[in-house]
DNA sequence: GATGAATGAGTCTTCATTCAT
DNA sequence: CATGAATGAAGACTCATTCAT
């Protein structure tokens, strides 16, 4: 890590300008887009603020007009990207969608969604796990969003349990286990090179695993 | 990222001492131990070769006498640590241990082992996932070791299937899904702050999930 | 040789500011001047980028804002210095200046010019020969410039031959031999400690040698 | 340049062991041979004492038993190599060989010898000019040897002048100019890539140049 | 005498961040 | 507000030389 000059704190409150004017907002967005591009291509550490500025057709100094530092840019992108992925899943978890129809099919569709959701910005997904354990703010942000997804699963399990569709001993841990498993399977499948025909089998098996865990009826022998 | 000096290639002797004498072996070990400490405390990027040398009570140059660069030290530690964790699990997967007795109990013990195994050097575990997606050599090393664990699961599923204990449609994907799920659940449980009483429930649920996926008999309703 | 850090490639912007603003141009010039000073005093290997920056009253980073590395600074200076020397000579070789008047006198003046031209930045001249055989880029640059001087000699020999002033069997090799001889005699005379009264005699003898080689009339017996 | 630990001077006089026993002498020679190889391949700066030791199948420490430092090894090799080259030339300058026969032919043979002599260890020749201007001891050594060659030329010119074969106004400067010219032409021809058929023409022209400078008779019109 | 492990000062280079214009 | 030149702390790595065994 380079010089990392001391952040001059206190006195006035020069802060980071909050865009109120249209042009400002547009510039800020351009920087963000450029950063996504660069981060996708090179990862976080390998990306430089200079390159981001260049791609955004903006001066380095201007970048610092919108973000306090490089990390903040990454944080915002990671948050936004991760949230978007999880939102897709959370949406698909709305109880009202699960009260009728073939559960196993829905579970499979859900797993499918989880994987597809991660395909959008795989490079950012990579950064999530790269930074997760080393940057407390990333961890916090990710855990908050994950928490929402877990809650959505919990709500679903409650709703379906009431209808007698599912039968789960301990809903919180079940929600956590399901979420965690699917998250990592999806990440590894998307970010690694999955052996050709293996993808479908993996989705099937994952769905089967979840279905058996939550459904009331015995597995199709 | 700092200066990142170029490896000057050629010049015959790679400069990496292959320890044959006792003193040499001891020094190499000291460096490795120091590096584990430093990496545990600060993570990879934040650790410096100077700090490692200092902890090992050795000159920087000596460090470079045993390892071509900082990355190589990390790689060796990651490999060794990760391999040791997986070995514990692989050992517990030996088919002969599974042919009789309560399967559910054994699955639970296995999950337990997976978690305990990761507790040894959690900081290194952190580095594994930090570097996994960005350092091809880390990825390769980890995938190789993971592959062995997955194979061990496959062998177990074959053996138990023959005895009529388990009944799995697609063994390869099942092995992969089980391994991937447990790996990440274990990592997250160990590296994150698990809500107090949640740990046991998580282990139970995970075990239940795996048991239901592979066992022949219907789940205890 | 020091750490010799690797050029991290890619990342878009090479980091080399191409000066367009006035301040920029001035800084670049300051760095170059400082580098000439330092190189003159210490030679290439013994000079450090830190010292160059200090002399230029500039931060190290600024140096790297204008030049990709230390070698590039040296290369530019060497090229510029050597080219300037050779240009003086090439100018003096313009055929129109040689068509009348005393040839022997003109040859002497030429040799004189060759020596005087090298006196400007002798330290850089030293670096030229220090790096010539070990740095391909230096070699290339120097050979290119030398080539132009040799061509100028060739043109002169052609023109004077047509006028019946000179009589040379093989113009290319003659131009090469003359250039090479004078170049080294001048370098050695300037960079070595020439025995006092020897200088004039050396110039005279060199001129005589060249004159006899190219002139039509027999040497003044 | 690396650490360059202070040479501990004074007290006893550990000095550099002078080989008196046969084995010692042989080891010293092995080191020297190895050094020639390495220097030839990589040049001085790029060569390391470790590599030299390795090639000589000797421990680094042993190298320092025979030579005070890396520079001394280089110095001895440069001196020996350069002296050998010049000796060949000096031998060919013995007056008794020049008192009869075709002078022009002999001059040509001499130039030829000068070039051939440099072909033996061109890499060392390169080092000579690389270090000549930056290492005072190299300069001194080379100048001393050059001085002998120049003296030999002077003696030859005296002898031939007495016989009426040559007619030179100022013998010292003539000897210097001839030597310097041929030395550099030979070096450039050997170390550079000489344009194919150019070599012969260069030798011829050089010989012609020298012949015309020293011989009494007018050049063959 | 030999060995080769150990030393550590010295270099180059990077890049997040600041601030004069 | 934008610009982009300037800053400079920080870090990886090299290698001649020493010295304990």
pTM score of the predicted model: 0.88
Q: Which residue has the tokens 């070096």?
A: D187
Q: Which pLDDT band, with edges at 50, 70 and 90, does A61 fall under?
A: very high
Question: Which protein residue lies nearest to nucleotide E4, measured between its Cα and the C1' atom?
Answer: D59
- Indicate whether D202 pLDDT > 60: yes
Which runs of consecutive H residues, i.e. helices, occur in chain B?
A: 22-42, 49-55, 60-66, 70-92, 103-118, 122-132, 136-162, 171-191, 198-214
Gap between the Cα atoms of B95 and D204, Å rounded: 87
User: In the numeric block, which tokens belong to residue C148?
Assistant: 């132009």
Determine the residue among B180, B183, B187 to mutate to test chain A binding: the one whose Cβ has the most chain A Cβ atoms within 10 Å. B180
- The DSSP code for C58 is S
Q: What DSSP assignment string belongs to B37-71?
A: HHHHHH-TTT--HHHHHHHTTS-HHHHHHH-SSHH
With contact defined as 3+ CB pairs under 8 Å, the chains touching A are B, C
Nearest C-alpha of chain C: how many angstroms from A117?
A: 28
The residue that leads in pLDDT, C80 or A2, is: C80
> What does the pLDDT read at residue D113?
96
Spatial distance between the Cα atoms of D103 and C104, rounded to a whole number of angstroms: 25
Kindly report, residue by residue over A169-208, the tens digit of the pLDDT: 999 999 999 999 999 999 999 998 776 679 999 999 999 9
pLDDT of amino acid D101: 87
Residue C101: its pLDDT value, please? 87
| Residue C4 neighbours by CB distance under 10 Å | 10
More confident residue, C12 or C84: C84
Going from the C-alpha of B131 to that of each of A103, B4, B127, B134, B137, the distances in angstroms are: 38, 17, 6, 5, 9
The span from the CA of A112 to the CA of A200, in Å, is 9
pLDDT digits (tens, 9 = 90+) for D144-187: 999 999 999 999 999 999 999 999 999 999 999 999 999 999 99
Element (H, E) at A113: helix A103-119
Per the DSSP assignment, residues forming a β-bridge with D166 are: D215
Q: Nearest-CA neighbor of C135 among D45, A160, B119? A: D45
pLDDT of residue D21: 76
Structural domains of chain D, with CATH: 22-66 (1.10.10.60), 75-214 (1.10.357.10)
Q: Answer left, alpha or beta for residue D43, where phi above 0 means left and psi between -120 and 50 means alpha.
A: left
Q: How many Å does it take to go from CA A19 to C1' F4? A: 22
What pLDDT shows up at residue B21? 67
pLDDT in tens, A106-140: 999 999 999 999 999 999 999 999 999 999 999 99
> If you average pLDDT over residues D95-115, what whole number do you get?
93
On the question of pLDDT at D2 being above 60, the answer is no
In this predicted model, which residue has the larger pLDDT, C216 or D9? C216
- Cβ of D64 near strand F (under 7 Å)? The reply is yes
Looking at the predicted structure, is the pLDDT value of residue D13 above 80? no
pLDDT digits (tens, 9 = 90+) for C85-138: 999 999 999 999 998 889 999 999 999 999 999 999 999 999 999 999 999 999
A119-133, B103-117, B205-219, C12-26: the lowest-pLDDT one: C12-26
**Strand E: which positions are within 7 A of a protein CB?**
1-21
Q: How far apart are CA C185 and CA D85, in angstroms?
A: 20
Over pLDDT 90: what percentage of chain A? 80
User: In the predicted model, what is the mean pLDDT of chain D?
Assistant: 89
Helix, strand, coil shares of chain C, percent, nearest 5, are 70, 0, 30
Q: Name the residue among C165, B124, C81, B11 with its Cα closest to residue D53.
A: B11
Q: What is the pLDDT at residue D8?
A: 41
Minimal Cα distance from A43: which residue of C? C11
- CA-nearest of C121, C92, C29 to C66 is C29
For residues B20-40, give the mean pLDDT.
89
Q: Which nucleotide is nearest to A61 (CA to C1')?
A: F3
pLDDT at site D218: 56
Residue C5 pairs in a beta bridge with B5
Q: Do C129 and D134 touch (CB under 8 A)?
A: no
pLDDT of D40 > 70? The answer is: yes
Cβ contacts of D79 within 8 Å, gap of 6 or more? D141, D145
As a dihedral over the C-alpha atoms of residue A160, residue A162, residue A165, residue A168, rounded to 10 degrees, the angle is: 80
**Euclidean distance between the first and final Cα of chain A, in Å?**
57
Of all nucleotides in the shown strands, which has a C1' nearest the CA of C28?
A: F5
Contact assessment for residue A43 and residue A123, using Cβ atoms and an 8 Å cutoff: yes
- What pLDDT, on the 0 to 100 scale, is given for residue B23? 75
User: Which of C183, C200, C203 lies closest to C89 in space, CA to CA?
Assistant: C183
**B14: confidence class by pLDDT, cuts 50, 70, 90:** very low
* pLDDT per residue as tens digits for the range B120-172: 999 999 999 999 999 999 999 999 999 999 999 999 999 999 999 999 999 99
Contact C11 A46 (CB under 8 A): yes
Angle between helices B70-92 and B22-42 (to 10 degrees): 90
The three-class DSSP label of residue B215 is strand
Shortest CA distance to A202 belongs to which of A111, A113, A116? A111
Over residues A8-35, the mean pLDDT reads: 70
- Helix (H) or strand (E) run with residue A35 in it: helix A22-46
DSSP B16: -
Q: Where residue D9 falls among pLDDT bands split at 50, 70, 90?
A: very low
3-class DSSP state for residue D166?
strand
Answer whether any strand F atom is within 7 A of the Cβ of C59: yes
């Amino acid at each position: 890590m380079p010089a990392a000059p001391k952040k001059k704190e206190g006195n006035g409150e020069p802060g980071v300008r909050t865009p109120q004017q249209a042009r400002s907002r547009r510039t800020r967005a351009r920087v963000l887009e450029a950063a996504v591009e660069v981060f996708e291509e090179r990862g976080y550490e390998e990306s430089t603020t200079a390159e981001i500025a260049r791609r955004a057709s903006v001066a380095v100094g201007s970048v610092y007009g919108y973000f306090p530092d490089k990390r903040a840019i990454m944080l915002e992108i990671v948050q936004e990207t991760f949230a978007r992925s999880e939102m897709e899943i959370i949406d698909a978890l709305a109880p009202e969608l699960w009260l009728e129809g073939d559960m196993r099919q829905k579970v499979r569709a859900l797993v499918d969604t989880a994987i597809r959701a991660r395909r959008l910005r795989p490079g950012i997904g990579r950064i999530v796990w790269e930074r997760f354990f080393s940057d407390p703010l990333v961890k916090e942000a990710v855990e908050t969003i994950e928490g929402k997804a877990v809650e959505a699963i919990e709500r679903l399990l409650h709703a379906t349990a009431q209808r007698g569709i599912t039968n789960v001993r301990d809903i919180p841990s079940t929600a956590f286990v399901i979420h965690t498993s699917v998250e990592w399977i999806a990440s590894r499948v998307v970010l690694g090179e999955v052996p050709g025909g293996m993808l479908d089998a993996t989705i099937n098996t994952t769905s089967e695993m979840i279905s058996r865990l939550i459904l009331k009826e015995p597995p199709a022998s």
